[in-house]
Amino acid sequence: MSKQQVTEGKYVSLTYSISDENGNVVEQNDLPVGYVFGGDAELIGGMDEALRGKRPGDKVVVEVPPEKGFGARDPELTFVDDIANVPEQFRFVGAEVTMANEAGETKTFHVSRIEDGKVTIDGNHPLAGKTLNVAVNILDVRDPTPEDLATAGKPPGTTLN
């Protein structure tokens, strides 16, 4: 394992966890995630700058406000309807519903609540409006291989994209 510092063009391998303002872990990745620092990928909430200059073995925790994370909640993306108007396959919390506007653009909404015969469908990201704490463990920093460069900016993991 190298002791190189995180700088432009270096391949960085890390694990991470994301928790909400109440300390609840909302995402965790214990398998190494790799990306080329300064490439196309941008880590959530300014994590890139927090990692700059760090070395393998360093741990970094950053508080990410909504505007640097998943944005503020947009109340116009939340709809309530009678459960009778909702197809049965979408009548559970967490169900994904793809909707299209008049222009044919699609967006995925989630059933976020079912209560008193009503279904709430929300187009906001589940973490929108939340302050998050991102904890990163830097595992390795090294020069990238040709394979790393071929996938630079495309680290696995949905949150880090």
User: Is the pLDDT assigned to residue 38 strictly greater than 90?
Assistant: no
pLDDT of residue 101: 87
- 17 plus 62 within the same structural domain: yes
- Tell me the residue ranges of DSSP E strands in 20-131: 25-36, 59-64, 78-82, 96-100, 106-115, 118-122
* Averaged pLDDT for residues 92-104: 91
- 135 plus 112 within the same structural domain: no
- 105 plus 57 within the same structural domain: no
| Residue 151 DSSP one-character state | T
- 22 plus 94 within the same structural domain: no
- 85 plus 57 within the same structural domain: no
* Averaged pLDDT for residues 2-19: 91
- 62 plus 91 within the same structural domain: no
* Domain of residue 97, CATH code: 2.40.10.330
Domain carrying residue 145: 11-69+130-150
- 26 plus 62 within the same structural domain: yes
* Within-domain flag for 16: yes
pTM value is: 0.72
Is residue 36 classed as helix, strand or coil in its secondary structure? Answer: strand
pLDDT of residue 88: 93
* Within-domain flag for 160: no
Cα(128)–Cα(78) distance, rounded to whole angstroms?
Answer: 12
Residue 124, phi then psi, degrees to nearest 5: -75, 150
- 110 plus 142 within the same structural domain: no
- Total domains in the chain come to 2
Percent of the chain whose predicted confidence (pLDDT) is above 70: 93
Q: Residues 61-92: pLDDT tens digits?
A: 999 999 999 999 999 999 999 999 999 999 99
* Within-domain flag for 104: yes
pLDDT of residue 2: 57
Interacting residues of 37 by C-beta distance below 8 A, sequence separation 6+:
6, 7, 8, 9, 10, 11, 12, 48, 51, 52
- 59 plus 25 within the same structural domain: yes
- 15 plus 60 within the same structural domain: yes
Q: Which residue has the higher pLDDT, 77 or 160?
A: 77
User: Is the pLDDT assigned to residue 161 strictly greater than 70?
Assistant: no
* Domain of residue 54, CATH code: 3.10.50.40
- 21 plus 65 within the same structural domain: yes
Is residue 109 classed as helix, strand or coil in its secondary structure? Answer: strand
